[in-house]
Structure 1
Amino acid sequence: MTTGVSPAPPTTRPRRSRLRRYLPLGLAAWLVLEIWLLTQVAGVAGGPTVFLLLVAGVVGGSVVTKRAGRRAFQSLNEALQQGGSPSGGGGKGNGWMMLGGLLLIIPGLISDVAGLLLLLPPVQKAVSRSAESALDRRLRRSASGSLGDAFQQARIHRPDGKVVQGEVIREDRPEPEKQRPPLTP
């Protein structure tokens, strides 16, 4: 017995980006490697030595992060007092120093080595150049499309595969006349 209704076409999920696909796997592999390395060092040098290394990393990372934050705040104050732009070049490298400090705070030897490397100015410059060029490439690639492409990306996918273009109207916001009157004594 047929009803004349055709079944809905199978929906295809949008493809996940490479970062969203491999980031959880990379984080899990990094965590396993950190634990394995800590157990290897603890087997050779002893547990108290590993504990002292981890505490030294947390203390050193805290000092580095605090110093970099203080420098960034001072350069921001100087730029604002001189009437310049807050994004001026006075605080170059503070972000990488803060990231290095945060990597030192994270327990683990690989993150400590990465944090210590980020504290070196030549490494900061190299990482900064590579991050800047990657951002430029990404911006050029996204800007190559037209405005119509941007509107085409902003659409709603229904479960049955149909694409409905439109805008979202929120009705859960209170209207101005329905607000409570102010309290008076």
Structure 2
Amino acid sequence: MRRRSLALLPLLLPALAVVEIAVFIAVVHAIGGLWAILLGVAASLTGLALLRREGMKGWRRFQAAAVEGRPPGREVSHSLVGLSGSLLLAIPGFVSSVAGLLLLLPPGRQLARHQMERYAERRVGGAAASDLFGARHVRVHPGDPIVVIDEEPASSSPRPRTPAAAIEGEVIEGEVMR
């Protein structure tokens, strides 16, 4: 899939340019040429200012996580989404500016951060993802199947068993290892 998306890139960039031009013309007709240009310049300057701020804030969060001994993945993913939103806002064009604003506002930022973390988990695996993002908290409710796999030598296969600690109404929190 990765190669397909890279193969489509030469087609998507000119299409994005055509869409940006069409939207710019529509905005010019709606609010006037001078206002459209001023709005585009203001969005780009705001994006450049935010790009610097998001970069510095992300670097400080990364350093604080490293000093405290916490996994830095959440800070890094939060900063990458902010940097991406700022970069899209800095690029001239109304479509890219709207996409950048969506990434900078809290609901869009959280959604993009969660998607980025899921993507990283799929790419690097559960154990490495827990090193990056910290332990995953899992809530097990009564009636949910609980499987504990004992680690045994490679000659025998792991056997699932139900733990005795799963009592009606109790919530068990733990780390998910894949």
TM-score above 0.5: yes
* 2:110 alignment partner AA: K
Q: Is the 8 A contact 1:71 1:91 kept in 2?
A: no
Give secondary structure in 1 for the equivalent of 2:72: coil
Q: CA deviation at 1:63?
A: 2.0
For the aligned residue pairs, the C-alpha RMSD in angstroms reads 2.4
Deviations 1:117-150 (A, max 9, x none): 001222122122223334444557xxxxxxxxxx
* Separation in structure 1 between the aligned mates of residue 95 and residue 82 of structure 2, nearest angstrom: 17
- The structure that has the greater radius of gyration is 1
* Separation in structure 2 between the aligned mates of residue 18 and residue 106 of structure 1, nearest angstrom: 25
> Is residue 2:59 matched to residue 1:73?
yes
Match of 1:49 in 2: 35
> Is residue 2:24 matched to residue 1:38?
yes
Deviations 1:12-49 (A, max 9, x none): xxxx9211221211111111000111112112321111
| Structure 2 gap segments, 5+ residues each | 126-178
* Separation in structure 2 between the aligned mates of residue 86 and residue 133 of structure 1, nearest angstrom: 16
Change (3 A) 1:59 1:138: same
Q: 2:115 aligns with which of 101, 116, 130?
A: 130
Give secondary structure in 1 for the equivalent of 2:92: coil
* 1:108 alignment partner AA: G
Question: How do 1:94-133 and structure 2 match up within 5 A?
Answer: 94-133=79-118
Change (3 A) 1:107 1:90: closer
Give secondary structure in 2 for the equivalent of 1:107: coil
Give secondary structure in 1 for the equivalent of 2:110: helix
* Separation in structure 2 between the aligned mates of residue 137 and residue 86 of structure 1, nearest angstrom: 18
Tell me which of the two structures has the higher relative contact order, counting C-alpha pairs closer than 8 angstroms and 6 or more residues apart. Answer: 1
